[in-house]
Structure 1
């Protein structure tokens, strides 16, 4: 049972707008209220909290340290409430929004280029995307589904296999002093690593019969877009999913110095809390995504 009274929504909205503008006048215009109404809301809020949120200075107001901290917390809470409200509305209709956590390079290189087809087929549903590169708690986030790379071992969720991936080394042609004829020759150059797949080089070279302690050495980048840019800049050789660069090597100023057909043992999955699996936006997106994945991994004629 709560031992204190949560401020009313009107006061919180007045405070958030006033804090963002550091102006009661601008907050009043945004919320279609009078300046005196905003001032009263703030005064009541400060009285209830027992904390001064603004310092009045002539024609303007300035946030106190406590006010600045509280404004950040209130803004985040209002944004979460807005997203949660849109999400719950979506569960009751054929339309709405799906909050999807994505891997950034996967989204930009594979998912988003195909998304117009989904929008054309399902005009009442839109996909909001946010970045998550590791597993997370759905209960503690606003996300309703995620594109996950790894194994389908995410507690409390259901998952659908999308496809695996072939990884290839890439680099700037200016980096190489001579053509690469065997995989171990790549160790003569700096290896660029992904922080989310730290053992990718070790696994790839091991599959090709190369065992060497130096495979873990080299700088690390969190995003594959960074790896691709670093390789193009001549900083070293990166190991990336082939479909991230397929058809763009010349445009990016990259080459594949050594071709080898190796497929990672992990894969891409659509993951979602089991209890949300019947929500209409998720159901429609899931059907479409599985169709797209099936078409992508089908043998090309």
Structure 2
């Protein structure tokens, strides 16, 4: 059976423009079409769907109940189509695209400063990066790999270890002038990472500190926000050393404790078997391993 009820892109554009402008004449001006072409598109769309999408009230178009229900999906479909088109346009002018999902803070602090070196080696490759706090499902998500903690790896994916997650305590130099004991740290505002709320409990596990105040404090979604809050003097942050490195080097943060805490799951490049078979991706993986080795040696 032919699905003749499916709208065309022209009809969806005409419908959404009429919603925005309230008249076929103004919609025609916005779309650079004639008023007759917009009116025909609306009439054809209503005929396809078998419903009245607008009421004509004093030369204005007013959405019907069916039109209001349809508007949400029509706007979404056009937006997703635009996003898909602009995304695939990244292939233009370059030979290959590697699509990465990255933990935002680690990607910003560790990967992005190193990418120019990969660009020098592989100038024909475009890197398409999106932030992702949740594990990636490579069967449904459009990614070639994920730069995340290794414990986020799906069961059927590969993982190449890159950086151990060594946590350090940092603060603005106006707040802390010298490394503190755990007891002194516990008296300061402790900035919380929302997706990993037990980090401070892990830090104080061997200390004789009341755990209740340890879990209190301003809460932020990811480490980048925690570090920005620490730089602003809002409190003390427990963050990966790799993520805090730049602010430490710039002097906007200082170590607030001499201790470190290494957790069990390193940062890793996680990827499906199909990516392993791609020579361009294999070159990217080899380069990441070289960067990782160089950091450990340094």
TM range (shorter): 0.7 to 0.9
Distance in 1, matches of 2:56 and 2:117, equals: 53
Alignment correspondent of 2:110: 110
Q: 1:273 to 1:291 in 2, by over 3 A?
A: same
Is 2:158 the partner of 1:168? no
Provide Cα deviations, 1:109-154, integer angstroms capped at 9, x if missing partner: 1211222222232232211221111214333433332111242641
- TM-score scaled to structure 1, two decimals? 0.79
Query: Aligned ranges for residues 80-99 of structure 1 at < 5 Å?
Result: 81-82=84-85, 95-99=95-99
Gaps of 5+ in 1: none
Alignment correspondent of 1:299: 297
Alignment correspondent of 1:121: 121
Distance in 2, matches of 1:141 and 1:19, equals: 32
Distance in 2, matches of 1:85 and 1:133, equals: 23
Distance in 1, matches of 2:283 and 2:36, equals: 48
Matched-pair contact (CA < 8 Å) for 1:98–1:125: yes
Alignment correspondent of 2:31: 28
Number of aligned residues: 290
Cα distance, 1:84 vs structure 2 = 7.7
Provide Cα deviations, 1:245-284, integer angstroms capped at 9, x if missing partner: 2243374632211122432221111122333432455334
Alignment correspondent of 1:147: 147
Matched-pair contact (CA < 8 Å) for 1:28–1:35: no
- TM-score scaled to structure 2, two decimals? 0.79
Alignment correspondent of 2:182: 183
Q: Secondary structure at the match of 1:202?
A: helix
Matched-pair contact (CA < 8 Å) for 1:52–1:67: no
Distance in 2, matches of 1:143 and 1:37, equals: 40
Cα distance, 1:227 vs structure 2 = 0.8
Name whichever of 8-17 and 142-151 sits farther off: 8-17
Matched-pair contact (CA < 8 Å) for 1:14–1:27: no
Cα distance, 1:244 vs structure 2 = 2.0
Is 2:69 the partner of 1:72? no
Alignment correspondent of 1:45: 45
Distance in 1, matches of 2:5 and 2:280, equals: 36
Q: 1:2 to 1:260 in 2, by over 3 A?
A: farther
C-alpha RMSD over aligned residues:
3.5
Cα distance, 1:99 vs structure 2 = 2.3
Q: 1:272 to 1:247 in 2, by over 3 A?
A: closer
